[in-house]
Structure 1
Amino acid sequence: MALNAFKTIPLPIPQLSLAAVLKCGQSFRWTTLTPTLDDSDASPTGTEPSPTAVEYRICLKDRVVCLRQSPDTLYYRSIYPDPQPPSSTLHRFDAETLEWLKDYFQLKIDLVSLYKEWAAKDSVFAGFQDRFEGIRILRQDPWENLVSFICSSNNNISRITKMVQNLCMHYSPPLLSDPHPFIPGETLTYHPFPPPSALAPSGVGLRLRSLGFGYRADYIQRTAQMLVDEHRSGTPKSTSLRDTAEASELWLRQLRKMKTSDARDELLKFVGVGRKVADCILLMSMDKKEVVPVDTHVYQIAVKHYGLKSATGGKPNMTPKLYEQVNAKFFSIWGDYAGWAHTVLFTADLKSFSSYGLNTPPSQPLAGKSPKKKSKTTAATLDIGIPTPPLTPGPSPLKRSRESDKFEEEDPMSMSISQLCEETSDSLSLADRVKKRRRRSYHLLQ
């Protein structure tokens, strides 16, 4: 589809990088669509799509929002179910989509200024800010965010995404179907996120277990039931996006107006919500920009790079006291937007983002192995540009752990925050240093 079908927002990537923000473990319902490599929209090199040839889509309750991005522009449009909005009101609906985008991506916040402020206060952040630009916090729907992060317990992005997709497919009727923008003959069907009333019935837990949710199945059903039972009063109300929200969903949104501690206390009442999950929800859907969700990975960052005293005996017991110490440490460095800064640093330290932001050729295969031949046809949900990171470091493919938040395999091809900081005095550019390290690592592996 030609780009002139899209509306535009002048927005440089340092203010918003879709390739990072939509893949770093905040939201799990965005679909990434790419053309085949021989498509006319592909880049001249033929090795990867051009920025505007990648489309991101999400299904809201009354429309599907489609996004593309170039270095200085965000392109957007909406797809509506039949019957299509009359032309006389289409302009108003497009204006609603624009307002939703501004709210969802919090575009009123100047991210470039925040990066400069953090870099001035923090030499660690300054060492990698240029590579990991454009990572901001989404302002998500609290109900969807709550359920998604109940699914996140001992989990990774790939599995969470499948769970959330299954929730939508099995508990929310399809809104519309639309042809794939790049693959002729392929049609994509979109489901909104189900409301609390759809997940509250007693049989939901058993069915979710059959869909692979494990112990999280009962957590989701019981949380939905608590919301419906305690906040069923009142009739559904429509929002600006023709979105009829249930009373329990509106109650969750009201938590945004509470103090952080009071809103956290309300969230901790739900089954399957501990301190970290509650803090993720506070940060990503309830405007609590100072909150830093802490797990063992974030704790290790604080110990390695910010002088936090290490616990004895290896892996720490994340007590409330230790959790608060890590929070206080990061808040003392970054201030009111500590949660935002933490998300950039967390993403940068993931090994799955080790090549993000580097203009380097693909890694050579190890000796005795030939690269896998890529399929000519691209699936509807391919990752491009960066691999999908886990919420917490995933298990090694050679040594699996029952918990996804324990250890990652040492990867000589990766560059951590420590390595970036150690080499800031090198006369080579960052890209050249990484190329040099990759070449040295490759030879060591032969």
Structure 2
Amino acid sequence: MKLRDTPSACPSLWRCLPCPPGELRLDLVLTSGQTFRWWESSPGAWTGVLGGRVWTLRQERERLWYTVYGPEEGDGDGDGSLAQAAAPDGAETEQILRDYFQLDVGLPALYRAWGAADPLFRKVANDFPGVRVLRQDPVECLLSFICTSNNHISRITAMIERLCQAFGRRLCCLDARPVHAFPSVSALTGADAEARLRALGFGYRAKFVSGTARAIAEGLGAEGLRQLRTVPYTEARRVLCALPGVGTKVADCVCLMALDKAEAVPVDTHVWRIARERYGAVLAGKSLTPRAHQEIGDFFRGLWGPRAGWAQAVLFCADLRKGQQPAGSRDQARRSRGQDSCGDKPC
């Protein structure tokens, strides 16, 4: 099936909700290393998987337009199935989007508060409005960020795509591109899961992905992982850090982007450098130790308040998109939150 990327082309298949650019910028949020399942299917239109369904999103002035693709049907050619665009079912789909983008959180007021507390934030934020933190599925977020150590966004995106194709349920085919759901925990617990992941190019991360999937299946379960949303930040991070391949940085990413811990500040060597060079933070030691990680998080929480992780996401996005950097610096910035040199150790 051909993507219907323009609401005016088939208005009955699109719905919209009020959403000014100051509240959300799709082009910034969906490319800033928070998620790896969206692609720009045509200029200004973003297609991806959310809640086990395939969506296309587009912003036009003060509105966020969206359409959802229904179950695939056989195309009769023996080479796969095609998605059928379906009219979104109103309140349910709108609520999924509101929850995913956390649209109940008023962003402009937060920007003003962060800018009042931090002149550096104020200087950067004017050019990067609408950067907000996603509220993702905890299993998908956790397993995805395990893949980010010693990695960069484009490579992580390709790895997650291979993971979904190999282990996930097929959802539909768009413009000859098969689209799959993120794998369930049970799909990644087979005896051959690690070997299959290594064959897909996951390297040492294969044992961490399969090992964490088994640990979840045999312990918390997917629902228990989701219930970490209700416990204090330090407790959620402690539980996550007990899983294979999960260190403080990955745990903080999951706490922030999936478990409602807005105070979590993911720290990699890039953020560590920002804290030292731009903010003059006095930190212990000359390397990113657990103590330094805690001190950096505490420093930014003291500066930005209870949603410090959201403020840090704005600066991270700005640094990622900074066009005036030399190529080498941009390459370094494009490394996602997994850029630490962790080797075989959890990040």
Structure-1-length-normalised TM-score: 0.67
Mapped contact 1:204–1:221 kept (Cα < 8 A)? yes
Aligned AA (2:19):
L
What are the superposed Cα offsets for residues 196-219 of structure 1, whole Å, 9 maximum, x if unpaired? Answer: 000011211011111110000011
What is the CA–CA distance in structure 1 between the aligned matches of 2:226 and 2:322, rounded to whole Å?
33
1: CA distance, partners of 2:339 / 2:225: 31
Counting only pairs closer than 5 Å after superposition, residues 198-217 of structure 1 correspond to structure 2 as 198-217=187-206
CA shift in 2, pair 1:293/1:163, >3 Å? same
Q: Tell me which of 92, 95, 99 is aligned to 2:91.
A: 95
Note the C-alpha offset of 1:93: 3.0
Partner deviation per Cα, 1:291-347 (whole Å, 9 max, x = no partner):
1111221111111222212666xxx32222211111111011100010000111122
Q: Do the aligned partners of residues 218 and 257 (structure 1) sit closer, same or farther apart at CA in structure 2, a change above 3 Å counting?
A: same
1:76 equivalent in alignment to 2:57: no
Pairing partner for 1:295 from 265, 268, 282? 268
Larger radius of gyration: 1
CA contact (8 A) 1:62 1:81 kept: no
Which residue in the other structure is 2:158 paired with? 162
RMSD of the alignment, in Å? 2.5
Asked if the contact 1:78/1:94 (under 8 Å) is kept, the reply is no
Note if contact 1:202-1:221 (Cα within 8 Å) is conserved in structure 2. no
- Tell me: CA distance 1:394–1:320, structure 2 relative to 1, closer, same or farther (3 Å): closer
- How much has 1:66 moved relative to structure 2? 1.2
Asked if residue 117 in structure 1 is aligned to residue 117 in structure 2, the reply is no
CA contact (8 A) 1:297 1:393 kept: no
Aligned with 1:269 (options 237, 242, 250): 242
What is the CA deviation profile of residues 241-277 of structure 1, one whole-angstrom value per residue up to 9, with x for unaligned ones?
A: xxxxxxx221111010011111111111110000000
- Detail structure 1 runs of 4+ shifted over 4 Å in the superposition: 392-395
Per-residue CA deviation, residues 173-192 of structure 1 (Å, 9 max, x unaligned), is 311123x3xxxxxx222100
Partner of 1:353: 322
Equivalent-residue separation in structure 1 for 2:52 and 2:140 (angstroms): 15
**In 1, distance between residues paired with 2:162 and 2:87?**
33
Partner of 1:329: 299
Larger proportion of strand: 2
TM-score scaled by length of structure 2: 0.86
Q: What is the deviation of 1:151?
A: 0.1
Give percent identity, aligned residues only: 41
Compare the two structures and name the one with the higher helix fraction.
2
Q: Distance in 1 between matches of 2:17 and 2:169?
A: 32
Runs of 5+ consecutive residues of structure 1 not aligned to the other structure = 35-52, 85-89, 181-186, 232-247, 357-362, 364-387, 396-400, 404-446
Give 1:58's aligned residue: 48
Per-residue displacement from partner, 1:358-385 (whole Å, max 9, x unpaired)? xxxxx9xxxxxxxxxxxxxxxxxxxxxx
1:389-408 equivalences in 2 (<5 Å):
389-391=334-336
1:208-247 aligned within 5 A: 208-231=197-220
What is the match of residue 39 of structure 2? 31
Q: Are residues 1:284 and 2:257 paired?
A: yes
